[in-house]
Amino acid sequence: MKLKHTFMLSLAAAGMVCFTGCNKDYVGKENSHPLFAKAVSYKTSQNYLKAAESYEGFLVQCPKSAKAHRELAELYADYLNEYVKAIYHYEKYMDYAALSNADRQDNRRIIDGLKQKFYEKFQRDSGQIPMSQDEKDALQNQLNGQKQFNAKLLEKYKELLDNYRKVVEQNKQMRDQIKAYSAPTSPRRPVTKTTTARTASGTRTAAVSGSGDVIHEIKAGETLSRIARRYRISSKALHDANRALIGPNPSRIRVGMKLRVPVRGTAAAAPAPKKAVEKKPAATGSNANTGASSAKSGDDVLADADLME
């Protein structure tokens, strides 16, 4: 009953096609029709189902094209395993094509073979005959090939996923670098209150609260070594603390320049007072000149020692 029903559907479809109009201009010139050309393109790209649909669409407009029927018969028989449709189109091909007796006999043998395949497929699908060993081997080979294809596809997917993760990580690193470059180079220093104190010599100094540093304004006649000695620190420490201001040469200081004195604790904030130098009575004669040339104050001796450093 199932086979009879299938044949009836095929005959009904053939009847509907026969009653449609045919444009005889395309018989023998099928390649100029867009649907036929599209079907050829699909078949070349091995998209056999789309090719069959395009050929069927062409036959709706020109059902007496023997070439289109032959193409459909081969598609259904060799690639789509639609044996009933293949038999129908082989029959139509024989009706519309000018064939010799030998060619008709060849087509009849093809049709008989397709009928045999259809019956075997029908019996196998209905469970009437078991699958042969060759068919089982062919099916197993097809399954193994599909498994290998799936494995290769999975490897390709993993490779693409790893590349994607690497790109994401590179983008993150680039964003971090851009943020680092756009950030300010030095943090803003908090505003601190300053206190002023008057030294014994009358010089006003400003001590930065919390940091222990002192701001000293240079007066006329002062050198870097003398200022360092007054605050009980080394000349090198004072120079290093103000290198950005006065540069590598410690002698390049000028009146009015404000130096930062890195003292520790509040006790060292005030500079050491100068020692009072006793005035001796002026000597007379050659002794006076000799004493004037040889006598130096304590500050001058220490200043000379600093300059020798």
Contact indicator for 42, 51 with CB cutoff of 8 Å: yes
Task: Please give the pLDDT value at position 204.
Answer: 45
When pLDDT is cut at 50, 70 and 90, the band that residue 238 belongs to is: confident
Among 17-31, 46-60, 196-210, 245-259, the least confident range? 196-210
Q: For residue 114, which of 138, 139, 78 has the smallest C-alpha distance?
A: 78
The count of residues in the chain is: 309
**Can you list the domains of the chain with their CATH numbers?**
2-125 (1.25.40.10), 193-274 (3.10.350.10)
The answer to whether residue 34 scores a pLDDT higher than 70 is yes
Task: Please give the pLDDT value at position 235.
Answer: 85
When pLDDT is cut at 50, 70 and 90, the band that residue 10 belongs to is: low
Give the rounded percent of residues in the chain with a pLDDT score beyond 90.
33
Q: For residue 90, which of 102, 106, 42 has the smallest C-alpha distance?
A: 106
Task: Please give the pLDDT value at position 111.
Answer: 94
Distance of alpha carbon 227 from alpha carbon 307, whole angstroms: 12
**Main-chain dihedrals φ then ψ at residue 207, nearest 5 degrees:** -100, 125
User: Both tokens of residue 11?
Assistant: 């005959």
Contact indicator for 32, 26 with CB cutoff of 8 Å: yes
The answer to whether residue 142 scores a pLDDT higher than 80 is yes
Contact indicator for 56, 39 with CB cutoff of 8 Å: no
Q: Any idea what DSSP says for residue 31?
A: G
The answer to whether residue 105 scores a pLDDT higher than 90 is yes
Containing H/E element for 164?
helix 133-182
Q: Name the 3-class secondary structure at 295.
A: coil
Task: Please give the pLDDT value at position 189.
Answer: 54
The answer to whether residue 92 scores a pLDDT higher than 90 is yes
Q: Which residues lie closer than 8 Å to 136 by C-beta, 6 or more apart?
A: none
User: Both tokens of residue 243?
Assistant: 């290198």
Distance of alpha carbon 35 from alpha carbon 53, whole angstroms: 9
Whole-model pTM? 0.37
Residue 274 CA to chain centroid, in angstroms?
70
Contact indicator for 262, 238 with CB cutoff of 8 Å: yes
pLDDT tens digits, residue range 160-198? 999 999 999 999 999 988 888 876 665 555 544 444 444
Contact indicator for 217, 257 with CB cutoff of 8 Å: yes
What's the CA dihedral at 201, 203, 208, 211 to 10 degrees? -40
In DSSP terms, 196 is beta-bridged to: 206
